[in-house]
A and B are shown apart, each in its own frame.
Chain A
Amino acid sequence: MAYIEIKDATKWYPHKSGKLRDIFRKDKSFVKAVDGVNLSMDRGEILGVIGESGCGKSTLGRMLTRLEDPTKGDVLVDGVSTAELIKKDPLKFRRTVQIVFQNPFDTFTPRDTIQKILLRPLKHHKIGSSKEERLEIIKKALEAGGLVPAEDIMQRYPHELSGGQLQRISIIRAMFLNPSFIIADEPVSMLDVSVRADIINMLIDLARNHDASVVFISHDIALTRYISDHVAVMYLGKVVEYGTADEVINNPKHPYTKALISNCASIDPFEELATIAIEGEPPTPINPGPGCYFAPRCSMACEECLKKYPERYEVSPGHYACCDRIES
């Protein structure tokens, strides 16, 4: 059995038109932000989740960390249901599952020093027995993360540090709790290009040397390929393609993945861009279906596609795609 199992993760928001008749309507419509996602991960694996804005990848991340309650579904960590864990022992759940946010400039309260900010979770989770011991833990962790001189950093306020430094501190703080499941929601998209590698390498280190399973949510496909073992492509709340990173990105099968990857600007100026155009823009996921959600924009769509949601096919071992019209 896989170490992490995401089972039927679903988040529907009731869709309000803002009119009074909403109250009386029985057939409520829903925004299906995340719609039945099933994924599994091994220990120490990094899973990349890619997709355009509005595809539900961030909602998925927030749901996995229970910052939002799922409408349906559960996540098993090492066979333990997190839905039950959070009811029985919320602090233990927090120690198991951690998140790294997109905006490092807003991750820490602006009114406290880094030292104060980092002491809080240690105290809250009773890590270290005295203040001195906790300060020592913080100092060591900062130094290990390349934040030197640690004593100086600890006395600073968040706005006095750079985005790269803050994001490293954010990861360090998550690591204090020794989590086994970490969600990184666009952790580098707000950072300068030249410091991204630090964060990426820290996340890789987390997976390889601390045996944590990492979900890496990003819209940067090249970066996701670099960091991930497996990649899941999301479109309108559903995973449309899943496989090993190289397989999905070099040999995409789903028409959406194909278009997505073909539109990626490459830094190689000699690479001819054979972009596949997609008609229109991603629609909002208000009551999509019943057919394939991508069908209205898909160049390969036929009658059948508009009628029922396609099955999941294993196109090659470990590589899955949800499309009825894949030529193998």
Chain B
Amino acid sequence: MKAVLSKCLRAFKADGQLRFGVIGVIVLLLVIILAPILAPHDPYSYEFVRLLPPGSEDHFLGTNHMGQDVYSMLIFGVGTSLKVALISALISGALGVLIGGLGGFLGGWVDQVVSEIINIFLMIPTFFLILLIISLFGNSIANVMIVIGITTWPGNAKLMRAQALSLRERTFVRSAVALGETKTQILFKYILPNGIFPVVANTTRSMAGAILTEASLSFLGLGDPNIISWGQMIYQGKSYITSAWWISAFSGIAVILTVIVFYMLGDGLNHVLNPKYNYGRSK
């Protein structure tokens, strides 16, 4: 355990992107926890002073057309974005790892079926599928997360399958077979732990994509109207873009920053989790 911790610490020190990502995520988490303190107003309260420009007393990022405080909305929007990112990434990662891992490890017809399913999913224009499902099943935030999850797993499955395919030929997997371990044991003990890291890195990066997708859906008016999300803010600000640019602009910047944080985290993880990476230690 200690060894793992010290490894993490070394990696953290050595990799700039990882550092940026980790600190960024910690800041985002702090914002979620401290939201009631950080936000000066209730984002759901409507006031009479509408479309106040930024820099106004009491509303330093201004208010929107409903008189909601833009700054407070941004703060509360972090939670929505992170929730969407995390849950959809978990769904996509779990599906991808299991399906891809099984296909690659078992090989034969299982692998052929898995590969074909992956290919079909990769061919479908994902965003339109999402649009379709959301318009059919309603636009609750839960639906949005599930839909993003089940449309992005093929990328992870492809990665995991490639990993499993090469791990299957490794001596330690063969020796596990020779020692009498069952297929299930081998899959969970050797294939997944040794092959999961590129998927973890990829999933982290795809969190950025999930945030964008949620924002896009909201922008098209297909987000969950009952919660505050950045995409929704951009969408609402759209009609006022000439008179009240700040509604869309600040939420847009928030989306961009969060996406960069997750992208950096994913990229950093990709470096660090690579078995060939030596944690800044010389060989």
Contacts and interface: CB of A to CB of B under 8 A. Distances in A.
The answer to whether A and B touch in the complex, with CB atoms under 8 Å apart, is yes
Interface of A: 65, 67, 90-91, 93-95, 98-99, 101-103, 106-111, 120-121, 124-125, 170, 173, 177
Interface of B: 170-172, 174-181, 189-190, 193-194, 275
Contacts of B178: 65, 67, 94, 98-99
B190 A110 contact: no
B171 A173 contact: no
B190 A67 contact: no
A108 B171 CA distance: 8
B273 to A, nearest CB: 11
Given A109-B190, A109-B194, A121 B171 contact: no
B179 A106 contact: no
Most buried by A among B172, B174, B194: B172
Contact of B175 (A95, A107, A177): A107
Contacts of B172: 106-110
Given A95-B180, A109-B189, A124-B180, 7 more contacts: A90-B180, A93-B180, A101-B175, A102-B171, A103-B171, A107-B171, A109-B193
Nearest to A95: B180
A108 B174 CA distance: 10
A91 B193 contact: no
Nearest to B3: A157
A99 B175 CA distance: 8
B109 to A, nearest CB: 15
Given A101-B171, A103-B171, A106-B172, A111 B193 contact: yes
B76 to A, nearest CB: 40
A103 B169 CA distance: 12
B179 A120 contact: yes
Nearest to A111: B193
Contacts of B193: 109, 111
User: Lowest 10 CB-CB distances: which A-B pairs, in order?
Assistant: A94-B180, A106-B171, A121-B179, A101-B171, A109-B172, A91-B180, A107-B171, A99-B178, A103-B171, A107-B175
Among A93, A95, A111, A125, chain B packs the most CB atoms within 10 A around the CB of A111
22 contacts: A91-B180, A94-B178, A94-B179, A94-B180, A95-B180, A98-B178, A98-B179, A101-B171, A102-B171, A108-B172, A108-B175, A109-B172, A109-B176, A109-B189, A109-B190, A109-B194, A110-B172, A111-B193, A111-B194, A121-B179, A125-B180, A177-B179
Contacts of A107: 171-172, 175
Nearest to B185: A124
Contacts of B275: 110
Contacts of A110: 172, 194, 275
A89 to B, nearest CB: 10
Contacts of A108: 172, 175
Which of B170, B178, B189 has the most chain A CB atoms inside 10 A of its CB? B178
A95 B180 CA distance: 8
Contact of B179 (A102, A103, A111, A173): A173
Contacts of A109: 172, 176, 189-190, 193-194
A67 B174 CA distance: 7
Nearest to B193: A111
Contacts of B174: 67, 101
A65 B193 CA distance: 26
Nearest to B170: A106
B272 to A, nearest CB: 15
B120 to A, nearest CB: 21
A124 B170 CA distance: 21
Contacts of B177: 67
A226 to B, nearest CB: 25
Contacts of A65: 178
Contacts of B189: 109, 120
Contacts of B176: 109
A101 B173 CA distance: 11
Given A109-B194, A110-B194, A110-B275, A124 B181 contact: yes
Nearest to B169: A106
A102 B172 CA distance: 11
Contacts of B171: 101-103, 106-107
A164 to B, nearest CB: 16
A93 B189 CA distance: 22
Counting chain A CB atoms within 10 Å of each CB, the highest count among B171, B174, B175 belongs to: B175
A99 B180 CA distance: 12
A65 B175 CA distance: 10
Contacts of B179: 94, 98, 120-121, 124, 173, 177
Nearest to A98: B178
A125 B181 CA distance: 10
A111 B193 CA distance: 8
B174 to A, nearest CB: 6
B165 to A, nearest CB: 16
A177 B180 CA distance: 11
Contacts of A93: 180
A206 to B, nearest CB: 16
A109 B171 CA distance: 9
A40 B5 CA distance: 54
Contacts of A94: 178-180
Contacts of A67: 174, 177-178
A229 to B, nearest CB: 24
